[in-house]
Amino acid sequence: MIKNLFNLVLNEMLKIYKRKSTWMMYLFLVVFIAGGAILAINTQSSYSENWKVELEEENKTLVQEIEEFSGMPGMQTIRDVNQESIMTNQFYLENDMKPMNYGAWQFVLDNADMLIIVSLFSIIIGATIISDEYKWGTIKLLMVRPYSRSTILAVKYLAILIFTFFTLLFMQLASFITGAFLLGIEGINPEIVAFRNGDVGQLNAIKMIISNYSYNLIPLIMMATLAFTISTIFKNSTIAISLAIVLMLSGNMIVTFFADQSFTKYLLFAHTDLQQYQNNSMLLEDTSLSFSITILIIYYVIFLISSFIVFNRKDIIVNE
């Protein structure tokens, strides 16, 4: 039984990784990561013996920028970023610590933002894993095997999660290796000075990497699941991919736009970023961590149940 299930999952993984298009995705990731590392080399600030003076100079420039931008609403983010940098610099000065050079760990940590690319890949796999079988006509050969339709669908869904996990791992490894070569490593388990919860502190780099990536994983899984559901229902990967990507990119905007409406707090996108509770940067006022988790679970279950119901009910017709 377990062996059979393992074989089914193995089949799905082979179908994903035997195709050139999958390796093109990985190639794209590598190029992107390498590009990011090269950019980091050019923009990273390295400090000399005189690092205290250099830090103070930097802060002055940052303060000047904040003043220049004050009163411009569009520049709020830049002012926030500058404020964070100033506080971080002050932390170094107060604690008499020379700032570390930007290295591999920091690079891996920052690349958590690039999970949006992994999301894109997971959405594509999620949206095509069923519809491709229809496209190739192999769905009928798959469905005449001694397994329930639910088992076959569940295995396919599991394959999406495993693919996401592998891709994530690949991305972190590639980031670390590229970062190590191009930027250097500062120790096996370094502490990173970082801004969090409106305060600056020293944090363990690996812990931070795990937490940052985990938070980013939530919207990723939700969007891949949504793509999978739409594609199972409509047997059409184009609709599924476009809808998932559009929603992913515009989610926050929609929530901000309708922030004063009562229905907004039931929208999925008001809750995909759980980091908002850690950073005290809530999108909406009247939500809480437990409320967000409840909403996420409800959406997730609805997505999965509807795809299972539809997949179990329909006749398998290839040339529709």
Partner 1 sequence: MENTILEIKNVTKAIKRKKILKNISIKIPKGEIYGLIGPNGAGKTTLMRMITGLSSITSGDIFIKEKSISTERKRALLTLGTIIEGPDMYPFFSGKENLFHFARMYPNISKKRIEEVIEIVGLTNSINKKVKNYSLGMKQRLGIAQSILHNPSLLILDEPTNGLDPAGIKEMRDYLKKIALQNNTSILISSHLLSEMELICDRIGIIKHGEMVSEHNLSEMELIKDSSKNKVTIEIQQIDEAKQILNEYNYTIDNNLLIFHINKEEVPNLIHLLTVNNVKIYEVAYTKSTLEERFFEWTGGNTID
Choices 6-14, 207-215, 263-271, 302-310 (CB under 8 A): range interacting with partner 1:
6-14
**Shortest Å distance, C-beta 215 to partner 1:** 35
| Interface segment toward partner 1; rule CB under 8 A; list 11-19, 62-70, 89-97, 243-251 | 11-19
x-or-dash string of contact with partner 1, 123-142, rule CB under 8 A: -------------xxx-xx-
User: 193 - beta bridge partners?
Assistant: 202
Q: How far is the CB of 228 from partner 1 (least distance, A)?
A: 20
For residue 164, the minimal CB distance to partner 1 (Å) is 21
| Shortest Å distance, C-beta 11 to partner 1 | 5
Give the torsion through C-alpha atoms of 309, 315, 318, 320, to 10 deg: -90
Instruction: Based on the shown chain and the rule CB under 8 A, indicate whether residue 318 belongs to the binding site for partner 1.
Output: yes
Query: Cβ neighbours of residue 205 under 8 Å, at least 6 residues apart?
Result: 105, 106, 109, 189, 190, 191, 192
For partner 1, the binding residue among 48, 74, 77, 145 (CB under 8 A) is: 145
- In 3-state terms the chain splits into helix, strand, coil percentages (rounded to 5) of 75, 5, 20
Residues in the chain: 320
Residue 74 lies near partner 1 (rule: CB under 8 A): no
Other C-beta atoms lying within 10 Å of the C-beta of residue 28: 13
From the CB of 154, what's the least distance to partner 1, in Å? 14
Rule CB under 8 A: say whether 316 interacts with partner 1.
yes
Rg of the chain over Cα atoms, rounded to whole angstroms, equals 23
Question: Rounded CA gap, 241 and 121, in Å?
Answer: 10
Q: Is 48 left (phi over 0), alpha (psi -120 to 50) or beta?
A: beta
Q: Which residues bind partner 1 (CB under 8 A)?
A: 4, 7-8, 10-11, 14-15, 18-20, 136-138, 140-141, 143-148, 315-316, 318-319
